[in-house]
Amino acid sequence: MKKILITLSLSSFAIASSGAATIWNAGKIDNAQEWSGAGGGTGPGTGGEEVRFVQENGPTNALPGNPANTGGEGAGRDIDDDYYFAGSYPGPIGIVATNEANMERAWTGNDNDLRFHFNFPNTVSATDLITITFGITNGFDQPDAIGWDIEVGMNGTPIYTQDVVNGDQNGDWTSPGFTLADVGGVVGPGADNYVTLRGTNTGSTSRWLSLDYAQLDATAVPEPSSSGLALLSIAALGFIRRRK
C-alpha cells in the first residue's frame, strides 16, 4: 500500500501539457547495477547514470556526507549515504566540480539511507510537478522473503512510502507529484536540495535490498486560462447543487 505523507497542492491534480524533463539519474535503468562504460560494472564510471555501485559501509552517517568518496572494495572501501551531483553547495561542501563517481548500492538493516544531493536548474518553476522514481534490481537478498518499506522524501519532508514485497523483483515506482513549495525546494546554485530513499525492513528475513537507479523529473503545468477557470467554477457549482 502506498501512503501519501505530504499534502499535495491543487496543481498536483492538473494535467501537464508536455512530457516530463529528467533533472538527474543516479544509476542506469538496467536491473544489473552496471554502468555503460568500458568494462561494465568494474568502474568507476563518470557518475550520474554511469555511477559505480559500491557495497555499503554502514552504519548510516549524518548529513552532509562526503562528495568525493573513492569507493573501493573490502573493509577499506570509502563510501557513504550521500551521493552528490555536480553543483554548488553550502559549506562545508562548496563546489562539486563533477558528479560523484561512486554510490552505495543497497539498503541494509543498519545502513538504511540513500541520499542524492543536487541543484535545481533555473528552468524549474514554482508550478512544475516534480516526481521521484526509483527501481530495485534482482540482486536483493532472499527474493522469497522480502519485506521492505521505502520512504521517499525531499529536503527532510516525507512524500510517500512504497511497500516492496515478494514478486517485486526489478520493480519501478514513481512518487505522487509535488511542487517546490511542498518540500522547501530552492532553484539555482548554492542550495542543497536532496532526495532521501530510506529503507526499513518490515520483519522479513531479507538482509538487504538493492537499488537499480533513482531519477528526478519535473513536468511543466500551464496555468489555467480564464475560460478554464470559469468551466471549473461551473462544474464545482453543479457538484454543490447535486450534494444539496
Mean pLDDT, rounded, for 110-138: 96
pLDDT in tens, 46-93: 789 989 999 998 899 999 999 999 988 888 899 999 999 999 999 999
> Which tens digit of pLDDT belongs to each residue from 54-66?
999 889 999 999 9
Q: Which has the closest alpha carbon to 154: 169, 140, 168, 175?
A: 175
DSSP for residue 98: S
pLDDT in tens, 19-47: 789 999 999 999 988 765 444 444 456 78
| Residues 184-197 pLDDT 10s | 999 999 999 999 99
Answer yes or no: are the C-beta atoms of 85 and 99 closer than 8 Å: yes
Question: How many C-beta atoms surround the C-beta of residue 20 within 10 A?
Answer: 19
Q: How far apart are CA 122 and CA 55, in angstroms?
A: 34
User: Are the beta carbons of 39 and 58 closer than 8 angstroms?
Assistant: no
Per-residue pLDDT at 170 exceeds 90: yes
Kind of pairing between the strands at 82-84 and 113-118: parallel
Distance, first Cα to last Cα, the chain:
34
Quick check: 136 pLDDT over 60?
A: yes
How big is the CA angle at 155 (ends 211 and 83), to the nearest 5 degrees?
40
Find, among 195, 169, 175, the residue nearest to 32 by Cα: 169
C-alpha cell belonging to residue 132: 521521484
Q: How many CB atoms lie within 10 A of CB 18?
A: 9
In whole angstroms, what is the distance from residue 198 CA to residue 150 CA? 5
Averaged pLDDT score across all residues of the chain: 84
